[in-house]
Structure 1
């Protein structure tokens, strides 16, 4: 029986494309047959997640875990079969998924409101130009629609 005892990032790097969860000794441990094995950074040291698809990109990476002199290697694919690993990973990475998406959504909504207000303002100015029988202003404003 394998389960994740602890999964905490040493630090997190996020760019436009990936969330990189950097691991270090004492921040990641697994329980294998009731024995605690500590992560050691001799091979893979990070979990790389695509921010858009929210999928782990480095599935072929191999992680090393040590108890005394015994070292056990597990691939990312093996770790991903553990439900508690996926839950903890999702909890760690979730703030980095949403941040950019929410900002883009709010910005898009704000731009739509501004566009609508500008169109309404132009229509009001056209009405004013018609009321004042100002043909030149009317023609200029109609070009803006």
Structure 2
């Protein structure tokens, strides 16, 4: 079993639904058999996560760790299985995942508001027809056509 001693991305980059966690020398270390191994960016240096699905996308990438002349190479999916890496990733990415989910909720709310506004406009048109208010009817139908064209 490996333990993550320290895991701080050198920087994070969000591109759409993808979040890249990029690591450098002193920002990622593991403990293997009571010895600390430092990450070295020889092969892969990033973890890519789809924050919509919270799935890691580069599971086959190889991460290299070094202690003196000893080098330890491990694929990301193996590192996830034999260490507490997932816990560290969740604490790092929680802000980005929450941000995307709240964005989804606000989009749903906006769609609901548009739906209610459209229903209200229909009711006002019906009311103008029942009252025989031609001017109001023409104004509301014009407004309805404008909003339909915008969406």
* Category of TM-score, reference length = shorter chain: 0.7 to 0.9
Does 2:127 correspond to 1:127? yes
Q: Which residue is equivalent to 2:47? A: 47
**Mind listing any 5+ residue stretches in structure 1 that lack a counterpart?**
none
Q: Which residue is equivalent to 1:10? A: 10
Q: Which residue is equivalent to 1:112? A: 112
Does 2:96 correspond to 1:96? yes
Q: Which has the higher helix share?
A: 2
Within-5 A mapping of 1:19-98: 19-98=19-98
Cα distance in 2, alignment partners of residues 2 and 34 from structure 1: 9
Cα distance in 2, alignment partners of residues 24 and 117 from structure 1: 52
Residues 21 and 47 in structure 1, CA contact (< 8 A), matched pair in contact too? yes
Once the two structures are superposed, residues 47-76 of structure 1 have per-residue CA deviations (whole angstroms, 9 ceiling, x without a partner) of 011222211111111111111111111110
Residues 130 and 138 in structure 1, CA contact (< 8 A), matched pair in contact too? no
Pick which of 20-29 and 121-130 moved more.
121-130
Cα distance in 2, alignment partners of residues 20 and 30 from structure 1: 20
**Structure 2-normalised TM-score?**
0.81
Superposition CA RMSD, Å: 2.4
**Structure 1-normalised TM-score?**
0.84
Report the secondary structure of 1:43's partner residue: coil
